[in-house]
A and B are shown apart, each in its own frame.
Chain A
Amino acid sequence: SQQGEEDPQALSIQEGENATMNCSYKTSINNLQWYRQNSGRGLVHLILIRSNEREKHSGRLRVTLDTSKKSSSLLITASRAADTASYFCATESPYSGYALNFGKGTSLLVTP
């Protein structure tokens, strides 16, 4: 069953603002990943954070992981219109075999 649950389901901001998306999951994990999907396209990997890490940065992306709360957040700083997409968290755990379990996603709209 799906492991991650993103919040909010939809987010609308203006260019230059920061966007924060959250992901909660149910069972212990090995790592958590964030993916991005532009409309009509496949998913693209953004960043991976392992269970023993608390924070990770990649360009304008900042990911945090709190294993005690079983939650993660993705922060996109200084958003651009090109950041408009859906964002998914995906968890890999001992319970999921060899595959990632994806959440339902957060739809981000960045307006000029």
Chain B
Amino acid sequence: NAGVTQTPKFQVLKTGQSMTLQCAQDMNHNSMYWYRQDPGMGLRLIYYSASEGTTDKGEVPNGYNVSRLNKREFSLRLESAAPSQTSVYFCASSEGTGGTGNTIYFGEGSWLTVV
């Protein structure tokens, strides 16, 4: 049971380049999330998908797009990377939706550097 799998693990981009972070979960969870983690800032929510077919903005959505491809997969796209997007990105999933005390399961992270 792999849990939440995200790829790539490490990536270096040049400013202006685009890339997609892939995420898949095998727990049959309804909700999926993308967070970024920066030193001294904790985790901040970029986008989330409460269920297949829906996506919503989180705290820091600017510069990103997401696609909930199916129940298993939730991708994060940087259309034109900027140095401010250098960060560690975490994909996560949970069984249910807000207000029900969901445990969130995290992937191992993707380290992205934009030069």
Contacts and interface: CB of A to CB of B under 8 A. Distances in A.
Do A and B bind? yes
Interface of A: 1-2, 30-31, 33, 35, 40-45, 48, 50, 88, 90, 92, 94, 96-105
B62 to A, nearest CB: 15
Contacts of B101: 30-31, 33, 48, 50, 92
Given A2-B42, A43-B90, A88-B43, A97 B98 contact: yes
A101 B45 contact: yes
Given A33-B104, A104-B40, 17 more contacts: A1-B59, A30-B101, A35-B104, A42-B4, A42-B90, A42-B109, A43-B43, A88-B43, A92-B101, A94-B99, A97-B48, A98-B56, A98-B97, A98-B98, A100-B45, A102-B43, A104-B42
Q: Which 9 A-B pairs have the closest CB atoms?
A: A42-B106, A104-B42, A98-B98, A102-B43, A98-B50, A45-B103, A43-B106, A31-B101, A99-B48
B74 interface: no
B43 A96 contact: no
Interface string B34-72: 010000111111001010000010110000000000000
Nearest to A42: B106
Contact of A97 (B41, B42, B56): B56
A51 to B, nearest CB: 10
19 contacts: A2-B59, A30-B98, A30-B99, A30-B101, A33-B103, A40-B109, A41-B109, A42-B90, A42-B92, A42-B107, A45-B105, A97-B48, A97-B98, A100-B102, A102-B43, A102-B44, A104-B40, A104-B41, A105-B42
B108 A42 contact: yes
Contacts, number: 70
Contacts of B45: 99-101
Nearest to B103: A45
Contact of B42 (A33, A44, A88): A88
Nearest to A102: B43
A105 B37 CA distance: 11
